[in-house]
Structure 1
Amino acid sequence: MTTFHDQVIAILPKLRVQALSLTRNRAMAEDLVQDAVCNALAAQNSFIPGTNFSAWMHRILRNRFISDLRKRRDTTDIDDVPASTFATNPAHEDTLALKDLSLALSRLPSEQREALVMVVIHGMSYETLAEATGCAVGTAKSRVFRARRQLEAWMMGELPANDKLSVKVAALRAALEQKQRVGARGTDLSHN
Structure 2
Amino acid sequence: MADTFHTQVIAILPKLRVQALALTRNRAAAEDLVQDAVCNALSARESFVPGTNFGAWMHRILRNRFISDLRKQRNVTDIEDVPASLLSTKSDHEDRLAVKDLAFALARLPEDQREALVLVVLQGMSYQELAELTGCAVGTAKSRVFRARRQLEAWMVGDLPADDKLRQRAVALRDEANRRTSLARAGVSNGSGAALG
Q: TM-score range by the shorter chain?
A: 0.7 to 0.9
1: CA distance, partners of 2:77 / 2:39: 30
Secondary structure of the 1:161 match is coil
Is the 2:92–2:177 contact (alpha carbons within 8 Å) kept by the matching residues of 1?
no
Gap change, CA 1:137 and 1:161, over 3 Å in 2: same
Query: How many residue pairs end up in the alignment?
Result: 189
1: CA distance, partners of 2:85 / 2:16: 32
- Whether 2:42 is the aligned partner of 1:41: answer yes
* Corresponding letter in the other structure for 1:68: D
1: CA distance, partners of 2:73 / 2:65: 12
| TM-fit CA distance, 1:110 | 0.8
Where do residues 1-192 of structure 1 align in structure 2 (5 Å cutoff)? Answer: 3-75=4-76, 86-88=87-89, 91-174=92-175, 177=178, 187=188
| TM-fit CA distance, 1:148 | 0.6
Is the 1:83–1:172 contact (alpha carbons within 8 Å) kept by the matching residues of 2?
no
Gap change, CA 1:104 and 1:186, over 3 Å in 2: same
For structure 2, the residue ranges without an aligned partner over 5 or more in a row are 192-197
* Corresponding letter in the other structure for 2:7: D
Q: Percent identity?
A: 71
Mean Cα displacement is larger for which, 37-46 or 108-117?
37-46
Secondary structure of the 2:188 match is helix
| TM-fit CA distance, 1:158 | 0.6
Q: Deviations over 1:73-131 (max 9, x none)?
A: 44556567687854536731111111011111111111111111101111110100111
* Corresponding letter in the other structure for 1:131: E
Is the 2:9–2:38 contact (alpha carbons within 8 Å) kept by the matching residues of 1?
yes
Is the 1:126–1:141 contact (alpha carbons within 8 Å) kept by the matching residues of 2?
yes
Secondary structure of the 1:51 match is coil
Gap change, CA 1:42 and 1:85, over 3 Å in 2: closer
- What TM-score results when the alignment is normalised by the length of structure 2? 0.79
* Corresponding letter in the other structure for 1:12: L
Is the 2:79–2:108 contact (alpha carbons within 8 Å) kept by the matching residues of 1?
no
Is the 2:33–2:65 contact (alpha carbons within 8 Å) kept by the matching residues of 1?
yes
For structure 1, the residue ranges without an aligned partner over 5 or more in a row are none
2: CA distance, partners of 1:57 / 1:35: 11
* Corresponding letter in the other structure for 1:69: L
2: CA distance, partners of 1:155 / 1:15: 27
